[in-house]
Amino acid sequence: MSLANGRSYLAIPGPSVMPDAVLRAMHRASPNIYEGELHDLTNSLIPDLKAVAQTDQNVAIYIGNGHAAWEAALANTVSEGDTVLVLATGRFCIGWGEMAEGLGVKVQTLDYGDAAPIDLAQVEDALRADKAGAIKAILAVHVDTSTSVKNDIAGLRQVLDTTGHDALLMADCIASLGCDRFEMDAWGVDVMVSACQKGLMTPAGISFVWYNAKADAVRRKTVSRYWDWRPRTEPDYYFEYFDGTAPTHHLYGLRTALDMIKAEGLDAAFARHETLARAIWAAFECWGAEGPMHLNIADPAHRSHAVTSVVVGSPNGDKLRHWCENEAGLTLGIGLGRSPADAYFRVGHMGHVNAQMIMGVVGTIQAGLIATGIPHGGGAVDAAARVIAAGVGPTS
Ligand SMILES: *Cc1c(COP(=O)(O)O)cnc(C)c1O
């Protein structure tokens, strides 16, 4: 007998749950890539990709995962010998910095550890100290998926403006786009990268770089043909911009996913993610009242609405994850980038998730805690249910 048989839930922070409608849109014969429907469909993605990032600027589509978008953003903006300022609040911004290092770029890092947001005062000091203007770009992650911290990206723009430093503000919204509020133009972000397999609910394989006129003005004189963002910004140069065969089925899937986001409304999607996140936090606060388990990010204002990182002590993280997956069909995320990894786990709640799924996660973790004997406080399922019952609250 296994209680895991039935429909499973992959509650890892990406890839996220794919809507059946997205899968159906992709279940088709190969289309003609030279003319016809696929061209119109690709053109139609552009305004909606801009809308989801809340920008009137440019978006380039790449065939590749989020790492490809990292490299694309760098390949267009910085050269060997330039410096970038990496604001590390977890594994992902460090990874973006490593990508820059591989391109011969000097990396200056402010590391805030694994459980704290960016400290804007320290960024201000670093920018003021850079009298020569060596720093060409700030690399920040909106939501670092390894720690589930959410950073104040608009605050970074204020620091740049206050100090008069003209570095580009580059943000990674791979985990947060469509889940946590992000406003590229209003927040003064110059370059933003994201990918399709998290809040955008499409199988991994395409990614995007949004960039504004300022970033395009300082674009490198030489950019490798494949990563150049300019041709990829114009779907009319259909083949050229993909530099080869278009990612045909991803485009169909993404079209449907963006239709779903549009039908719900971006504000409603943010409110849904926020309410579901609050339900999860309420449960963890009860569990954490007794025993070792607690939320990785103490301040709710700096917690992501898309992913929740939890500290539970070694080897409890793996014990709980394995029980949930093997005995109940719920896959939780590993303690990525943490040491020891089995002292942590993460819950992905991004994209195609609703109240019954989140109550399923909370109830299953409750069962897992009992089954594995991890000490925990009571009342968690009730606390989550109360948040759900109260309905959608104000968005932040
Ligand atoms: C998932 C993720 C990445 C990496 O994206 P891949 O598609 O796996 O390359 C980078 N940054 C953040 C914040 C992420 O969540």
Q: Is the CB of 12 under 6 A from ligand 1?
A: no
Which atom of ligand 1 lies at the shortest distance from residue 195's CA? Answer: 7
Residue nearest to atom 5 of ligand 1 (CA): 66
Q: What is the pLDDT of residue 353?
A: 98
Tell which residue, 178, 104, 87, 81, has the closest CA to residue 141. 87
Q: Is the CB of 64 under 6 A from ligand 1?
A: no
Q: Which two tokens stand for residue 199?
A: 């809040």
Q: Is 277 in the pocket of ligand 1 (CB under 6 A)?
A: no
What would the DSSP string read from start to end of 195-253? ESSSTT-S-S-EEEEEE-HHHHHT--S---TTT-HHHHT-TTSHHHHHTSS--HHHHHH
- Residue 274 has a pLDDT of 97
Which segments of the chain have a pLDDT < 50? 395-396
Q: Are 81 and 104 in contact (CB under 8 A)?
A: yes
Helix, strand, coil distribution of the chain in percent, nearest 5: 45, 15, 40
**Burial (CB count within 10 angstroms: exposed 0-12, middle 13-18, buried 19+), residue 269:** buried
Q: DSSP of 252-286, one letter per residue?
A: HHHHHHHHHHHHH-HHHHHHHHHHHHHHHHHHHHH
Among the four given CATH numbers 3.30.1200.10, 3.30.160.270, 3.40.640.10, 3.40.50.300, the one describing domain 20-262: 3.40.640.10
Whether 204 is in the pocket of ligand 1, judged by its Cβ within 6 Å, is yes
**What separation in Å is there between the alpha carbon of 92 and the centre of ligand 1?**
7
> How far does the centroid of ligand 1 lie from the alpha carbon of residue 174, in Å?
6
Q: What is the DSSP string of 145-162?
A: TTTTEE--HHHHHHHHHH
Distance 195 CA to ligand 1 centre (A): 7
β-bridge pairing 191-195 and 135-141:
unpaired
Given the CA of residue 67, which atom of ligand 1 is nearest to it?
9
CA distance 301 to 386: 20
Q: Is 242 in the pocket of ligand 1 (CB under 6 A)?
A: no
Beta strands in the chain (DSSP E): 9-11, 58-63, 83-88, 106-111, 135-141, 143-144, 149-150, 168-172, 191-195, 206-211, 294-295, 307-311, 330-334, 344-348
Answer positive or negative: Cα dihedral of 267, 270, 271, 272. positive
Question: What would the two tokens of residue 328 be?
Answer: 């109940």
What is residue 238's predicted lDDT score, i.e. its pLDDT? 62
Q: Please, how many CA atoms are within 13 Å of residue 43, restricted to the half-sphere of its CB?
A: 9
230 lines ligand 1 (CB under 6 A): no
- The SS3 assignment for 40 reads helix
Q: Is 256 in the pocket of ligand 1 (CB under 6 A)?
A: no
The domain ranges of the chain are: 20-262, 266-392
Same fold, 20-262 and 266-392: no
Name the CATH code of domain 266-392 (choices 3.90.1150.10, 1.20.1250.20, 2.40.50.100, 3.20.20.70): 3.90.1150.10
Res 391: pLDDT: 86
